[in-house]
Chain A
Amino acid sequence: MQPTHGAGQPKITLPGVKSIVAVASGKGGVGKSTVAANLALALRMQGQRVGLLDADIYGPSVPLMMGVPLVDPQNTAFPLERYGLKLMSMGFLVEPQKAVIWRGPMVDRYLRQFLMAIPWGDLDTMIIDLPPGTGDAQLTLTQAVPLSGAIIVTTPQEVSLIDARKGLQMFREVRVPILGIVENMSYFVGDDGKRYHIFRHGGGEKLAKESGVPLLGEIPIDERVAECGDNGDPIVHKYPDSPIAKSYQGLATTVIKQLAEMTKPPELPGLQL
């Protein structure tokens, strides 16, 4: 792990932001952005001031999920606001059909600008929706941003756990505290009231146990999640009394508690030469 960029830049400080939480996964397609968006909303519904930063420069999901269209950056003030959340995403700046084809240093530059040049104001929690993997965005954030902790999202099956372990290991190596594991698409509740474990059972719990971190929550499958995400109205907001929205509320409560109990890692001493 030897990036040649980013580390030479000044450290990012966000004095008005109490906690910065990265939502990550090793693997794509586990519903990380859905978890990030709904967790942000659940925190907001519990009275927190919340920001949601979409750090997936190549495949931003926040604009669609939050129902915010492309804007003209020349006459738009960022962050944008929707459902009481402060939002920033590359998807606000680039048309959805256009690909962002950049090497790492450009990703690093834009992420820094999103964090430093945008007046986020006072927030209780900033949720950062990371892209999958252990690449440039993750390195920029872990090297330059005072992350309070990371949440690892996985689905129950082994193929997802393999990459979730890698994500977990990355945060351990760079000494970012891991708040815990969220198992998404955990089960489906049928009309008969029974739980059906469509993608196998217990993967998140297994990963939490073997890694010595808490299992923060198990989020059920609900077909309305996709409909809500595609229509720009996340399920926690659209159906606040649904079982899945209640799971997210439980997750938000646990995250708030974890953040309150967490010990901040010590700053490394510097050397004046």
Chain B
Amino acid sequence: MSASRSVPLLPLTLNKEGADRLVIQWNDGHRSVYAWQHLRNCCPCAACREEHLKPVDPFRILKATELVPLAPVAMAPVGHYAYKITWSDGHDSGIYTLESLRELCQCPACAGKAK
């Protein structure tokens, strides 16, 4: 939780925009936009973190589940502090805290800051 916030960060609404985007409206007025694929790429679970640390294997054989487009099938709150996304390939171990979701925002303003 950011120490600089006087009011805890809270999402007011979550909406799916088109087939490939998530929009979160926050209680501080910010509107976050995410590509689902971006959220999956940034999955914070232990297995994905480990995977990210490995060098890219150019000869890696794709699994059958990787040949179909990836889509979220559920996004459910975890306690009062996070969300869990379940993906169409069955992966569901990433817990995205509210703070981490905000940091992953891809809206033009946040994407500009990240560069």
Contact = CB atoms under 8 A, between A and B. Distances in A.
Asked if A and B bind, the verdict is yes
Interface of A: 1-4, 7-8, 142-144, 172-176, 265-271, 273
A175 B78 contact: no
Nearest to A147: B79
Contact of A8 (B14, B72, B84): B84
A269 B1 CA distance: 18
A4 B93 contact: yes
User: By DSSP majority rule, is chain A's interface helix, strand, loop, or mixed?
Assistant: loop
Contact of B10 (A2, A4, A266, A270): A266
Contacts of A4: 45-47, 93
A143 B92 CA distance: 15
B14 A270 contact: yes
Contact of A268 (B15, B47, B77, B93): B77
A2 B94 contact: yes
Contact of B80 (A1, A2, A174): A174
30 contacts: A2-B49, A2-B93, A2-B94, A3-B95, A4-B45, A4-B47, A4-B93, A7-B82, A8-B84, A142-B81, A143-B82, A173-B97, A174-B79, A174-B82, A175-B1, A175-B8, A175-B79, A175-B80, A176-B79, A176-B80, A266-B10, A266-B80, A267-B80, A268-B10, A268-B83, A270-B14, A270-B75, A271-B22, A271-B76, A273-B75
A271 B47 contact: no
Interface of B is mostly: strand
Interface of B: 1, 8, 10-16, 22, 44-47, 49, 72-84, 86, 92-95, 97-98
Contacts of A266: 10, 80
A7 B83 CA distance: 9
B12 A269 contact: yes
A269 B11 contact: yes
Contacts of A271: 14-16, 22, 75-76
